[in-house]
Structures are given as structure tokens and as C-alpha cells.
Amino acid sequence: MAVNVYSTSVTSDNLSRHDMLAWINESLQLNLTKIEQLCSGAAYCQFMDMLFPGSIALKKVKFQAKLEHEYIQNFKILQAGFKRMAHGNARFLTH
């Protein structure tokens, strides 16, 4: 099930980096300690797959990415997922 998530600077209850990280960890069952750990792109791929099952080839995501070329590969996988969604090639689970 897809859920709209809004994060803007005009909300009355802005999230701190700590709160945002806690939400990410809870949502994805991760144990990230710094926002900077999101730079690998793996968490974004997980969110995309969670929201739109089948849109991302998770087996290709490098979850232990440490090098820039690995980050780039993860973001290419994410980009392919967005393209798949734009062309309607993803299958959705309905309740």
C-alpha cells in the first residue's frame, strides 16, 4: 500500500535528523546511526520496493556499499525502478 509522505519546511512539527533517522530505521528495520549513511542509495531502493513491490530488483542492490561506484549503481537501480513505474511495468499488491 502506498502512503503519501510529506516533509516540508512549512510543517508545524518539523522532524529533527534524529527523528527522521528513527522513522527510517523503524520503517525498514535498519540500524542506521547517521543520515549520511543514506548516501549509498540502498535505503531508497528498499523504500521504493516497500511502497511498490516488484519495482526494484533488490537482489542487485549493494547493501554494504562503501565506494562511489557502488552508490552510483544503487541509484541506477532506483532510477530503473522509477522508469518502470512511469511505464506501468510494476505489479502492485492490492488489499
| Residue labelled with grid coordinates 529533527 | 16
C-alpha cell at 95: 488489499
Is the Cβ–Cβ distance between 13 and 51 less than 8 Å? no
Is the Cβ–Cβ distance between 24 and 43 less than 8 Å? yes
Verdict on whether the full-model pTM lies above 0.95: no
* Per-residue model confidence as pLDDT tens for the chain (95 residues): 566 666 566 565 678 999 999 999 999 999 999 999 999 999 999 999 999 999 999 999 999 999 999 999 999 999 999 999 887 765 555 54
CA distance 79 to 86: 11
| Cα→Cα distances 85→25, 78, 90, Å | 25, 11, 6
Name all domains of the chain by residue range, CATH numbers in brackets: 38-89 (1.10.418.10)
